[in-house]
Amino acid sequence: MKAIVIYQYGSPDVLRYEDISTPSIKPDQVLVKIHASSVNPVDWKIRQGLLQPLSGYNFPKVLGSDLSGEIVEVGEQATRWRVGDQVYTFVNPLFGGAYGEYVAVPAANVSYKPQNISYTEAATVPVAGLTALQGLLDLGQLRPGQRVLINGASGGVGTFAVQIAVAMNADVTGVCGTANVDFVKRLGAHTVIDYTQEDFTLQEIQYDIIFDAVGKQSFFNCQKVLQSDGIYISTVPTVDNMGATLQTLLFSSQKCKLVLAQPSRRDLDALRDLIEAGKVKTVIDRTYSLSDIAEAHTYSEMGRTVGKIAITVNEGLQTINID
């Protein structure tokens, strides 16, 4: 099968599009023929070698985590699934495998793909969507009527976080750059702050939840705009936030928490329900073919992505870009 392989850490130039062996499955796994994947910042951070203590030093490596496709082989213990089922999920980005034509996936982590969107759209959901859902609902314990601020509201995680919070009937404030203010309003945010014009940490308004989807502010910077029992959630484990997480665990009514998405059929089912109900839409900035993954990584590294970057693995699939 074709896949994207690296033999060393480095720039996008280390990405190789070549033939490798199709993976075999274990009894509790399914083999998925991948129709589409997407780019997450963790993918190119691994490629750059920024996560070497976790990603290790064994090569070659196949990168990629998000995927949608169809099941072509079922392990003897994976009795829930059938060949031909349309599914979506993600694999651990540290081990990768989604930048290829086939991948073996634990059957327990797989969910049916939303029926009202394409494979390309579905592949942009798992990592970003689960990060937003698990951050807001599991860590933040989001309840209707709460005041929520999403920092980085126009990015991959942020676009999902805004829509999920709106669907939960929260009072949602989005923070983004000038060019994306109207876009974030269309996502449903009740208030939008242009960070080039206003620093939300200097406001008098206080929030029940601050979800920092880009890791640009620390818990300590946000404390004065958090309610006395408010929760700050970040996607980036900086030294400050890791320290604050431990400190607030025991000694503060305000809490700092870090979110790292975990594959979950239950949560993927919940996202599917929201998508099929029209409450959450995928947002695709650009679409690349698998063989053009180096260009996709280069664009992602620029930090200007609105929503997600999609990767088509099989040519000829329909791609739907949502403005």
User: The domain containing residue 103 runs over which residues?
Assistant: 2-124+282-312
Residue 58 lies in a domain: yes
- Residue 275 within a domain: no
pLDDT of res. 314:
75
pLDDT number for residue 321: 39
Co-location of 244 and 142 in the same domain: yes
Tens-place pLDDT, residues 100-113: 999 999 999 999 99
Average of per-residue pLDDT across 37-65: 95
In a domain, 142, yes or no: yes
Alpha helices, DSSP H, located in the chain: 41-48, 52-55, 119-122, 126-133, 156-167, 181-187, 219-222, 239-251, 265-276, 293-301
188: exposed, middle or buried (C-beta count within 10 Å: 0-12, 13-18, 19+)?
A: middle
Give helix 293-301 / helix 41-48 axis angle, nearest 10°: 100
- For residue 263, is it within any domain? no
In a domain, 158, yes or no: yes
What's the confidence (pLDDT) of residue 249?
86
Asked if residue 165 has pLDDT above 70, the reply is yes
Is the same domain home to 66 and 120? yes
pTM for this model (two decimals): 0.94
The count of domains in the chain is 2
Of the three residues 219, 242, 258, the one that is the final residue of a domain is 258
> Does residue 199 lie in a domain region?
yes
Residue 242 resides in a domain: yes
Same-domain pairing of 166 and 104: no
Instruction: Tell me, yes or no, whether 110 and 132 share the same domain.
Output: no
Residue 169 counted as domain residue: yes
Tell me, what's the pLDDT at 222? 96
* Domain final residue pick, 243, 258, 273: 258
Identify the pLDDT of residue 240: 87
List the single range of 175-184, 245-254, 264-273 with lowest mean pLDDT: 245-254
* 117 shares its domain with 132: no
Q: For residues 146 and 248, state if they share a domain.
A: yes
Is residue 319 within 8 Å of residue 284, measured between CB atoms?
Answer: yes
Same domain, 215 and 173: yes
pLDDT of residue 231: 98
* CATH number of the domain within which 147 lies: 3.40.50.720
Residues 268 and 185: their CA atoms lie apart, in Å, by 25
Question: What does the pLDDT average to over 144-149?
Answer: 98
Residue 319 has pLDDT above 90, yes or no: no
Looking up residue 69, the CATH number of its domain turns out to be 3.90.180.10
